[in-house]
Amino acid sequence: MSEEITYPDWIAVDWGTSNLRVWAMTAEGEVLAENGSDQGMSDVAPDEFEVTLLSHIALWLGSGQTPVIACGMVGSRQGWGEAPYRAVPTTPLGTLHTIPCRDRRIAMHILPGLKQERSADVMRGEETQIAGYLADNPEYDGILCLPGTHTKWAHISAGEVVSFQTFMTGEMFDLLSHQSVLRHSIGDGGGLDHEAFVGAIADTISRPEAVATQLFKVRAVDLLYGADPSVSRARLSGVLLGLELAAARPYWLGQPVVLIGTPALNTLYAKALSAQGFEPAACDANEATLKGLFAAYRELVA
């Protein structure tokens, strides 16, 4: 006798530039199964989005139609279908953008990103994490920091994203550690020396105009004194993060701050802020994403 298959009520999708993650979900927000790959938006041709998604979720589909709710760069101009940005101040979740599909077993919906017209900025994907955090903390008034390749600092008040600012700190670290002369001192991975990290942050916040020379000192100290890669890596990370904290000071100074990122990035940013006398709270980015997608599903079926 064959085992009866439990099909999901809906499917959650987080489709970014580099990765695709999918979850089979119940109507109550419970995860039945999950899947994923490195088939990010940038690696998928315009006419291959549907077949790529189906290759990850086909086993979850029955004979009826299953709602699929997606966030991330899949909704960009270069993605499956553009879900236009919504201007702040606004709630993090907006009207879902429906994408026509050839396969009638799926009904595809994509969440729009947010834009800031004064002091131009955009986000796509992070708004879903913000919605997920606010689903559990509807009265929160303060700052949400979303560390990543392009870190976002967002001011939240009365359930709305009031303003936000983006920093390319993660991408700059990746470029400098792999494609600049500093790659010879940074190594391929490992830990960060805490003292060097905190010292570099303090130096940069006090003298942000000296960043270019502080970066080269990472290489010079290694050449002259043979610095351990963990020290060089910490100095590079601290200089870049210190520059971010100096620019983002109006966001975090005197405000409650919650970090929404991976455990590793949350820890890194918590150390940086702790060195400035602040103790932020933390929330896992994956959990926030799922809760945000679930909030969008509840609005869809309401």
Domain range for 38 is 10-124
At residue 1, the pLDDT reads 38
The predicted-structure confidence for 235-267, as pLDDT tens digits, reads as follows: 999 999 999 999 999 999 999 999 999 999 999
Select from 251, 97, 237 the least CA-distant residue to 166. Answer: 251
Whether residues 118 and 177 fall in one domain:
no
At residue 29, the pLDDT reads 97
Domain of residue 96, CATH code = 3.30.420.300
Whether residues 86 and 31 fall in one domain:
yes
Specify if 233 maps to a domain. Answer: yes
The predicted-structure confidence for 173-229, as pLDDT tens digits, reads as follows: 999 999 999 999 998 777 899 999 999 999 999 999 999 999 999 999 999 999 999
DSSP-assigned letter for residue 118: T
Whether residues 17 and 120 fall in one domain:
yes
- Domain end call among 124, 156, 180: 124
Whether residues 95 and 175 fall in one domain:
no
Output the CA–CA distances (angstroms, integers) from residue 139 to 55, 133, 136, 185, 255, in the order listed.
40, 11, 9, 46, 15
The predicted-structure confidence for 8-62, as pLDDT tens digits, reads as follows: 999 999 999 999 999 999 999 999 999 999 999 989 998 999 999 999 999 999 9
Total domain count for the chain?
2
